[in-house]
Amino acid sequence: MATITGGAAVRIIPSATRATVSVSSSSRSFFSFSSSSNSVSSLNCLRLSPRISHLFLDQRRSEVRVSSGRFGTVSTPKAFASDPDQLKSAREDIKELLKTKFCHPLLIRLGWHDAGTYNKNIEEFPQRGGANGSLRFEAELKHGANAGLVNALKLLQPIKDKYSGVTYADLFQLAGATAVEEAGGPKIPMKYGRVDVTGPEQCPEEGRLPDAGPPSPADHLRQVFYRMGLNDKEIVALSGAHTLGRSRPDRSGWGKPETKYTKDGPGAPGGQSWTAQWLKFDNSYFKDIKEKKDEDLLVLPTDAALFDDPSFKVYAEKYAEDQEAFFKDYAEAHAKLSNLGAKFDPPEGIVLDGSPNAVGEKFVAANYSSGKKELSDAMRQKIRAEVEAVGGSPDKALKSNYFLNIIIVIAVLAILTSLLGN
């Protein structure tokens, strides 16, 4: 089992913020937000705090033993990015947090926004974006689409302080998946071991997340999600997570100040939800969007596009009728999104006990030798992770070890000389 490491990371939220935080469980749109002066003010207050910006040092411990009167240093086995036992404990603490703060939508949005900056056209880590923990830095928190997510960090920071052997990248995705499951949604086939970026200079530029009301909603959704490597089915399935949460006009510019469904909370009252039971994960989002009968329920332009666009409509209609099909496709899409751009240590990732799909796909060369079958996404990710772990890239050859090559040539020549001599 892995030992503990502390991923290098700047702490945005000091441990002093463990006092009770009044947090809205508003999600607004998991991928659609405009800038907010309120959130910027919160960030300025955080920046001025004298207790901010401590460093978690990534220390590889070694043990010292005495032998024959001399000291020798023996390195312990290499640790993974996150400690498996601490991941399990952190998951239990997140469950308790959800019971008291009703912050399911907020935590899902945090995980989505950290992963949703991925660009499949950029090979290098961390320039490609994705699930790498960069959203903990002020440089990225200030992006308009991330308004209010500083509150999610305040909620999770005590858990991060308690379990320093869990990276921010893993914590964000663990929180989002746990929130879905605790709200009644499907079990997400997650894996962990994501490596954190180390500084704000590694944050992606603003503009990689989608807008709520673009001129051409369907085209905009495809432009953003295709850049991540996702398809139409996955776009629609992920949109179904709007069954949770609310939109607040003072933050996003969308929705009503309050409705009959949100005026009494739970959590901070107000906002406009997509569904009547906005803390229950089910397929009611698709049903309500299709019917459009309740004026107290929110329908964004990007929501309406799911039934207006012919390709999207096929899946939206299916999910409105079949919750089991929605749960299956959502779980797969959520897991795929949570892995985008991530660098895993170990390369194959860490699967917690009880998670589905714990056994990875076995590579059988004969299945792919005919040229008629392409590698699955899971196998592509596994190969990419293993190649990157030794410093390579799927698109670039590994650097040659010239010294080793020379030794091999000399050895071959020596063998040939010996044979010829005999």
Give tens-digit pLDDT for 197-243.
999 999 999 999 988 778 899 999 999 999 999 999 999 999 999 99
Residue 270, phi then psi, degrees to nearest 5 = 110, 175
Catalytic-residue membership of 113: yes
**Which residue among 113, 143, 220, 242 is the active-site one?**
113
CA distance 10 to 8: 7
Residue 73, phi then psi, degrees to nearest 5 = -100, 125
CB 195 within 8 A of CB 78: no
Q: Which residue has 């999207």 as its token pair?
A: 312
Q: Which residue has 């240093």 as its token pair?
A: 73
CB 93 within 8 A of CB 151: no
Instruction: Name residues of the chain where pLDDT drops below 70.
Output: 1-78, 354-400, 422
CA quadruple 97, 100, 105, 107: dihedral, nearest 10: -20
Nearest Cα to Cα of residue 127 among 387, 383, 341, 385: 341
Strands 9-10 and 55-56: antiparallel
For 398, the token pair is: 């590994």
CA distance 292 to 297: 8
Res 416: pLDDT: 86
75 three-class SS: strand
For 24, the token pair is: 């809205």
CA distance 252 to 58: 37
For 118, the token pair is: 């991925």
As beta bridge partners, residue 65 has 72
Res 118: pLDDT: 97
Strands 62-67 and 55-56: unpaired
Contacts of 215 (CB under 8 A, 6+ apart): none
Q: How far is CA 43 from the centre of its chain?
A: 22
What's the alpha-carbon Rg for the chain, to the nearest Å? 24
Strands 272-273 and 246-247: antiparallel
Within the chain, how many helices (H) and strands (E) appear? 16, 6
CA distance 23 to 227: 32
